[in-house]
Amino acid sequence: MDMRELADNLGEKIEQVLPEGLSSSRQDLHNNINTLIQESFSKLDIVTRAEFDRQADILAATRSRLEQAEKQLSVLEAQLNAENPSS
């Protein structure tokens, strides 16, 4: 669910609890509520779950590559130390 869908859902829920007398200006109210919610979300540092999951996958892949590089570095350091022992 993206931020626009979330704003629409919240707007609809707010409309459902409004008194019936406001039904004549419901569309204007809906638009104003959606705009307000979207502006509020844009001020926050939030991401969708899908974006969070993508970033978590990228982090896991990066972490895996880092671990591989560390292992290779350890092997190279061991080879270097074996060739040039410091005594």
pLDDT tens-digit map of 17-54: 777 776 667 777 777 877 888 788 778 887 888 999 99
Which pLDDT does position 24 carry in this prediction?
A: 62
In the chain, how many domains are there?
A: 2
Q: Are residues 40 and 68 in the same domain?
A: no
Phi, psi (5° rounding) for residue 84? Answer: -130, 70
Q: Are residues 37 and 3 in the same domain?
A: yes
Q: Are residues 1 and 41 in the same domain?
A: yes
The token pair at 77 is 């350091």
Q: Are residues 41 and 60 in the same domain?
A: no
Q: Which domain holds residue 73?
A: 47-87
Task: Check residue 59 and report its DSSP letter.
Answer: H
pTM for this entry: 0.52
Q: Are residues 6 and 26 in the same domain?
A: yes
